Structure 1
Amino acid sequence: MKIALPDETGALTDYTLTGTPVPEAKLPANPARVVYSAAHVVADPFTANDPSGVATVDWAATMRFRHHLHGMGLGIAEAMDTAQRGMGLDWGGALELIRRTRAELPDALVANGCGTDHLDLAKVDGLEDVKRAYLEQLHAIQSLDARVILMASRALAKVAKGPDDYVKVYADILSDCDHPVILHWLGDMFDPQLAGYWGAETFEQALETVVQIIEQNAAKVDGIKISLLDKHKEIALRRRLPEGVRMYTGDDFNYPELIEGDEQGFSHALLGIFDPLGPAAAHAVDLLGQGDAQGFRAVLDPTVPLARLIFRAPTQYYKTGVVFLAWLNGFQGHFVMLNGAQAMRPLPYFVDVFRHADACGLLRDPDMAVQRMKRLLAVYGC
């Protein structure tokens, strides 16, 4: 099967698809690693709202995708940045998303983002504002008997004076959690407004604050997701975690080796890249559970170039690549995103994503993918 693809000058060259779709797999009830896919939402393209206004979600398509993930035995990290939380999806929309997922998939492994994003940053005066905002979202999520991911707060980054403020706020919030939660250390490459988080100028300083928070509240912490795109930093934290506290890799650049682990431990997974890589993730972790580490790496290693492309700088726009692949694979009927984010990457990016996805078997229906790619190219005059 061929398609004419443009290079960066616009010249068209025939490309022959060579990939074989990854075989379907389903994780067992007790997989070798806990695996969460941070799932995207599907925008409603027929809304009358401007992209910069209130987000309008296609709930039916959004929930179908969650059923797809659950059908492979994957957990769902709900209402996080992959779903454009803070970049189109507001707290009201996030809570509705959490409610719907809880109602439709009551038996699924789901953890839900809890933050402070409903605050007006211009009006945040101090730590009490941040604490009240966290607790408002926490109590709303817990009222649904739903589990929590305690996300990083732009508001806290703004008003905190130093590490002690983070220790105090996190202790206060964790004391109100009715089940152990997942903490989230999100780097400023994903959100520039989180620069200096944990009240630290260096990773080493931040590491000590995070370890202190976890050690002082270990009974309330299931684990921590670290999204710094640096395997050495993740391993450094992983080796400092108290017994029983999980490391969830958020490293979309180095996930195969971090999930496989080493002689001193391994990471579980909570990854945005496991939205488009769901079939490969399920197949690989299933092999790992059978003792086939070589097979695990053989499935996941070829996907790393695609992940690095999707998450290239500016990293916060990785969601565009995620939704592009969802469209190519037929999980939604259009390539429109909240806040018009489909326009946040250039055409050569989409061409390269198409090529890489084919190469590692992530185009589940190549005929459909080719036809949809041709439609996108036509929009650009190709």
Structure 2
Amino acid sequence: MSTAVLLDTDGRTRLLPLGEPAAVRRPAAPLRSRTAYAAAHVVPRVSGENVPGAPADVDWDATLAYRHHLWSWGLGVADAMDTAQRNMGLDTAATRELVRRSAAEARSVGGALVVGVNTDHLADDVVPLAQVVDAYVEQLHAAEDCGAGVVLMASRHLARVAEGPADYERVYAEVLARAGGPVLLHWLGEAFDPQLRGYFGSADTRTAADVVVRVLERHADRVRGIKMSLLDADAEVALRRRLPDGVHLFTGDDFHYVDLIAGDGERFSHALLGAFAAIAPVAGAAIAALDAGDPAGYRRLLGPTEALSRQVFAAPTAYYKTGIAFLSWLNGHQPAFAMVGGLHGARSLPHLSEVVRLADAAGVLEDPELAARRWNGLLALAGVAVPALEPVA
């Protein structure tokens, strides 16, 4: 049995014998009952100059291998979104390259892929609405030319210049009219990005939801669904009830996804979650349990992961990406605990210690011995007194 050293905020340490990973098997067939995308992160090149403000230097082999890991568990991949550190270290050139490479890898294995489309390549912070539309369409067509599905991400440019709901309705109407096929919309709350406060024309969720519904009703033939990331389960359920036929809700609620995906007996949410990137084996097996008509098995597997996700996505929520990369490193999917833009320094060691504890409780440490060795080594490097439980490397 492997043992991890846990670090409290007062500096005290305690020992945690790690349990076995959850007993799961890769799905033998494509997942059917829910569409589930894992929003994937990027792995930096270890010898790259990935410091704050520098262009991202990506380890493409490790980054793309992680996408194959997600596909192997039956999940789709949502790429070039906020989990990939968009606007937090992943620059425009790296984003475009990520879309191109991920689309090629998806084609090679028949993996489901959607990619984020935004306006973030614009040099100016404030531009007219017509330029917001053109920027969206430029990225939209580039993604479609690569063969990728599209998520129209929430735009900071639109949030800055929109004077009310009518401006949102106008921009989305013009962009959707130029889409080559149905897309996903994206409602990202201010917990994830404070610059998006009041998106869709109001800081009141119910008022903004009215705008969303009007957009969806007028353009239902152009929209597959909407990813909702407000961390407000009641608001998601309320919007889910109002969706036009054929338009689906994709939960982005990393606090309440277990119940939202299970549904209320009448409706359920599909998934597009950063959390699923960190727990892919358990997430894929849980959805497979729903496919098999085993809701108890679904909850048994996925239920314990929600406490872990709440820790990873704790305020300030925008730094959840650090927890995703940390778990990827613990599980052996990248050679170092490092991130583009130096973002691996965005969480404290006691915070990460709790991630270790909850990951163990959820059964998502794929190789407990490796996880303990890496974590204990990180603590030792930071000057924490780690007993000689096992070799530290």
Amino acid at match of 1:35: A
Partner of 1:225: 227
CA distance in 1, matches of 2:196, 2:364: 33
Question: Is residue 22–residue 362 contact of structure 1 (8 Å, CA) maintained in 2?
Answer: no
Partner of 2:116: 113
Equivalent residue for 2:367, pick from 356, 365, 370: 365
Does the C-alpha gap of structure 1 residues 2 and 30 become closer, same or farther in structure 2, counting only changes over 3 Å? closer
- Report the secondary structure of 2:45's partner residue: coil
Question: Is residue 112–residue 147 contact of structure 1 (8 Å, CA) maintained in 2?
Answer: yes
CA distance in 1, matches of 2:271, 2:103: 21
Cα deviation per residue 1:53-100 (whole Å; 9 max; x = unaligned)?
111110000000011111111100010000001111122211111111
After alignment, is 40-49 or 59-68 more displaced?
40-49
Partner of 1:304: 306
Partner of 1:70: 71
Partner of 2:214: 212
Q: Do structure 1's residue 23 and structure 2's residue 24 form an aligned pair?
A: yes
CA distance in 1, matches of 2:37, 2:237: 19
Question: Is residue 27–residue 73 contact of structure 2 (8 Å, CA) maintained in 1?
Answer: yes
After alignment, is 14-23 or 285-294 more displaced?
14-23
Partner of 2:243: 241
Question: Is residue 31–residue 291 contact of structure 2 (8 Å, CA) maintained in 1?
Answer: no
Partner of 2:40: 39
After alignment, is 307-316 or 372-381 more displaced?
372-381
Q: How does 1:1-382 map to 2 (within 5 A)?
A: 1-26=2-27, 28-48=29-49, 50-106=51-107, 107-122=110-125, 124-382=126-384
Does the C-alpha gap of structure 1 residues 273 and 339 become closer, same or farther in structure 2, counting only changes over 3 Å? same
After alignment, is 89-98 or 364-373 more displaced?
89-98
Structure 1 stretches (4+) deviating beyond 6 angstroms? none
After alignment, is 90-99 or 330-339 more displaced?
90-99
CA distance in 2, matches of 1:229, 1:187: 8
Q: Gapped runs of 5+ residues in structure 1? A: none
- Report the secondary structure of 1:274's partner residue: helix
Does the C-alpha gap of structure 1 residues 29 and 6 become closer, same or farther in structure 2, counting only changes over 3 Å? closer
Question: Is residue 22–residue 364 contact of structure 1 (8 Å, CA) maintained in 2?
Answer: no
Question: Is residue 6–residue 351 contact of structure 1 (8 Å, CA) maintained in 2?
Answer: yes
Question: Is residue 152–residue 185 contact of structure 1 (8 Å, CA) maintained in 2?
Answer: yes
Question: Is residue 102–residue 144 contact of structure 1 (8 Å, CA) maintained in 2?
Answer: yes
- Shift of residue 27 of structure 1? 6.2
Q: Gapped runs of 5+ residues in structure 2? A: 385-393
Cα deviation per residue 1:252-271 (whole Å; 9 max; x = unaligned)?
01101100101220000000
CA distance in 2, matches of 1:249, 1:47: 35
What's the C-alpha RMSD, in Å, of the aligned pairs? 1.2
CA distance in 2, matches of 1:22, 1:325: 18
- Shift of residue 10 of structure 1? 1.5
Question: Is residue 248–residue 270 contact of structure 2 (8 Å, CA) maintained in 1?
Answer: yes
Question: Is residue 228–residue 251 contact of structure 1 (8 Å, CA) maintained in 2?
Answer: yes
Cα deviation per residue 1:187-228 (whole Å; 9 max; x = unaligned)?
010001101111113111100000000100000000000000
TM-score (structure 2 length as normaliser): 0.95
- Shift of residue 379 of structure 1? 2.5
Identical positions, percent: 48
Question: Is residue 250–residue 269 contact of structure 1 (8 Å, CA) maintained in 2?
Answer: yes
CA distance in 1, matches of 2:285, 2:64: 22
- Shift of residue 21 of structure 1? 3.4
- Report the secondary structure of 1:185's partner residue: strand
Question: Is residue 27–residue 72 contact of structure 1 (8 Å, CA) maintained in 2?
Answer: no
Question: Is residue 239–residue 264 contact of structure 1 (8 Å, CA) maintained in 2?
Answer: no
Amino acid at match of 1:210: V
